[in-house]
């Protein structure tokens, strides 16, 4: 059977497009790892450099750390960035704040590691350590106050 069509206000038929389905985490560990790899590949494709100076430079994939970043107070606005593995967390925090348009003048900002499963606690990252020492490639972090 064909998908239903809806009629627009000018009488022309337009097909309805079903919404995208999100991948459901699998109970099978092998399947879950495979889904994570696919998500990481998609993230690598869409990620932009966290440091604007790296935009025109070629950096090898094994030297990049990819992150999904969102602002804690704003739901739905998540973006993908990559950073060099040699970058410190404090520098990455400053770059993310400027890229996402958040000021840290009045209240200090923190990077918070958001766990994939809801059972783990959120961890505030330490600004004096390397970013790669605190998060893994493909993780989700939040800008928090």
Q: Is residue 100 part of a domain?
A: yes
d(CA 35, CA 42): 11
Per-residue confidence (pLDDT) for residue 47, from 0 to 100:
93
Name the burial class of residue 86, with classes exposed (0-12), middle (13-18) and buried (19+) by CB atoms within 10 angstroms of its CB: exposed
What CATH number is given to the structural domain containing 57?
3.10.20.90
Domain assignment present for 21:
no
| Phi/psi of residue 115, nearest 5 degrees | -70, 155
pLDDT on residue 102: 85
Tell me the H-state helices in the chain.
29-46, 89-99
Residue 46: predicted pLDDT: 93
At 113 the pLDDT is: 85
Predicted model pTM:
0.72
**Residue 101 structural domain:** 48-145
Kindly state whether residue 25 falls inside one of the protein's structural domains. no
Residue 12, in any domain of the structure: no
In a domain, 22, yes or no: no
Using 70 as the pLDDT threshold, list the residues of the chain that sit under it: 1-26, 104-107, 116-120
Average pLDDT, the chain: 82
Identify whether 125 is part of a domain: yes
Give how many domains the chain has, as a whole number: 1
């Amino acid at each position: 059977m064909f998908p239903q069509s809806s009629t627009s206000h000018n009488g022309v038929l337009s097909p309805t497009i079903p919404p995208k389905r999100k991948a459901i985490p699998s109970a099978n560990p092998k399947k879950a790892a495979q889904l994570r790899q696919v998500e990481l590949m998609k993230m690598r494709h869409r990620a932009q450099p966290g440091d604007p100076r790296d935009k025109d430079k070629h950096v090898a994939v094994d030297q990049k750390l990819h992150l999904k970043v969102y602002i804690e107070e704003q739901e739905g606005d998540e973006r993908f960035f990559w950073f060099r593995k040699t970058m410190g967390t404090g520098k990455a925090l400053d770059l993310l704040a400027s890229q996402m348009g958040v000021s840290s003048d009045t209240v200090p900002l923190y990077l918070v590691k958001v766990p994939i499963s809801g059972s783990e606690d959120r961890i505030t990252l330490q600004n004096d350590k390397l970013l790669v020492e605190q998060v893994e490639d493909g993780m989700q972090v939040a800008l928090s106050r």
